[in-house]
Amino acid sequence: MTLSTPIRKVFQGVPDRRQMFQMFDRHAQRPNRWEDQASALYAGEWFEIDRIDHDYMFEILPPLWMRGDMFAMREFLTGSVTSVFFALMIDGNLRHFHGYCDLADKGSSERMHAAIIDRESRPVKAMTRTERLEHIWSSTHDDYRGYAGDRWPEADRGKRTVLFYGGQQGTSLILLDSLTEVQISAKLPVHLRYLPDAIAA
């Protein structure tokens, strides 16, 4: 039996094509990349893309399947996880999204479809703490993010880290999940710093 993974938005706004391809493998630097089973890292992640990139991905290979307003890529990222692309009418506007679905989890693409519409139909722009952290991770260059190694306490090893510039205190490596609200605000782009907190669904 396959356990459903949490469905989560990992980038606020619409990335350009370079950013889109980077986010297709946000966890490329993880330890033991070629030895572990990474389905749980990717399954459930989604973000918005533009129509041109949606159509570009459709034309790369014949889809594995098409169902109404979504199609799945033929090539799998890891295990039974693959890219599913959505063209969704939300509040009268046609918008496009990419998500990673575990096709061994029956109904995962339909649940993601519903979750995206629910999240993007909210009348007020807002972000949860998790969405803020995921956006920071997605938008940080590989040179400034990584994973806690042997120098960290054993309980923290393998967790995601980011570089943080602390003014007179200099630059330090911090666990992503331990960033304070002030640090999160400092690492977010200006247009996202003052969005209200959203209640996680």
Tens of pLDDT, residues 14-33:
999 988 998 888 887 777 76
The neighbour count for residue 102, using CB atoms within 10 Å, is 23
pLDDT of 175 > 60? The answer is: yes
Residue 30: predicted pLDDT: 79
pLDDT: which is higher, 146 or 1 = 146
Kindly state the average pLDDT of the residues 132-137: 89
**pTM higher than 0.85, yes or no?**
no
pLDDT of 4: 53
Residue 45 DSSP SS3:
strand
SS3 at position 62: coil
For residue 182, what pLDDT is reported? Answer: 86
Q: If you search the block for the tokens 């290979």, which residue do you land on? A: 61
Q: CA 4 to CA 107: how far, in whole Å? A: 10
CA dihedral over 52, 112, 176, 184, signed as positive or negative: positive
Q: Is the pLDDT of residue 61 over 80?
A: yes
pLDDT of residue 184: 87
